[in-house]
Amino acid sequence: MPKYKQVDVFSDTPYLGNPVAVIYDADSLSTSQMQKIANWTNLSETTFVCKPTTPEADYKLRIFTPGTELPFAGHPTIGTAHALIEDKLIKPKSGIVVQECGAGLIDIEVIDGTLYFTAPEYKFFNLDSSSITKSFGKKVINKPVKSDTGPYFAIFQFESPEDLLNINIDLPLIEKFSKENSLTGVGLFAEYNDGNLETRLIAPLVGVNEDPATGSLSGALGHYLKQTFDINQGRKVKRDCKIKVKYEDGKVKVGGNAITCFDGLYNS
């Protein structure tokens, strides 16, 4: 029977990170089977490890939410790399492994035991958010934008982390707004006095009411703010995720720790 792992990402403490289910030897599974498994695990993402189709890559990854397939996502990228390195199925070359996915080739770097992926280039677009901004019940202080790196996020900034943690979340309205604007989800953030961030990701359209930690959103914020910072995420869903974002020479690296919580087999 094929191997299965569940890895907590952006934490070194079991059950406080963002879990990802990692399904090994998945080439024989159809897309509909993968989606069915992802719906059953009911995690924000489930990954399926396949053989690479290009010699530059160490493996190919397909990433599914309970409702759809994604071209790229951050915490599944880190969690899968952690699992494969831990099982000695891949070995970093000069500290780097290369993941093939829908967004292309993603470099994952091991620095002092922490895994970092190089965030894809992001594009930002103007966004009419008038239908949703007032529903939060707290002041939005930026002009919301839409980010594009495979996943599409609307990005809203609030005055304080306290405000962010106490906004109103209207899931049907956010789902409608996401559908109308072709969004994966709505990314929300606020800045602490030291420049670090508190973030939230609400994505009901893809079956994720609130994500405990979102690496792809963190990468988008690195490009959006053009600075280095640490992120706290997941407090409203009883998690304590820590994400590191490094901005240098126009490039963004997103990193964090990971720990395996479950290790077993699955019935395909």
55, burial (CB in 10 Å: exposed 0-12, middle 13-18, buried 19+): exposed
Q: What is the rounded (10 degree) CA torsion for 127, 129, 131, 137?
A: 170
pLDDT per residue over 99-122, tens digit each?
Answer: 999 999 999 999 988 999 998 888
Mean pLDDT, to the nearest integer, of 154-161?
98
Whether residue 268 has pLDDT greater than 90: no
- Given the residues 45, 100, 198, 210, select the one marked as catalytic: 45
Q: What is the pTM of this model?
A: 0.90
pLDDT for res 17: 96
Whether residue 149 has pLDDT greater than 80: no
pLDDT for res 239: 96
Q: Are strands 69-70 and 59-64 parallel, antiparallel or unpaired?
A: antiparallel
240, burial (CB in 10 Å: exposed 0-12, middle 13-18, buried 19+): middle
Q: How far apart are CA 144 and CA 192, in angstroms?
A: 19
Contact by Cβ (8 Å): 191, 209: no
Query: Is 45 annotated as catalytic?
Result: yes
Q: How far apart are CA 150 and CA 77, in angstroms?
A: 14
pLDDT per residue over 208-235, tens digit each?
Answer: 999 999 999 999 999 999 999 999 999 9
Contact by Cβ (8 Å): 258, 82: yes
Mean pLDDT, to the nearest integer, of 30-42?
96
pLDDT for res 263: 96
- Half-sphere exposure (Cβ direction) of 39: Cα atoms closer than 13 Å: 8
pLDDT for res 81: 98
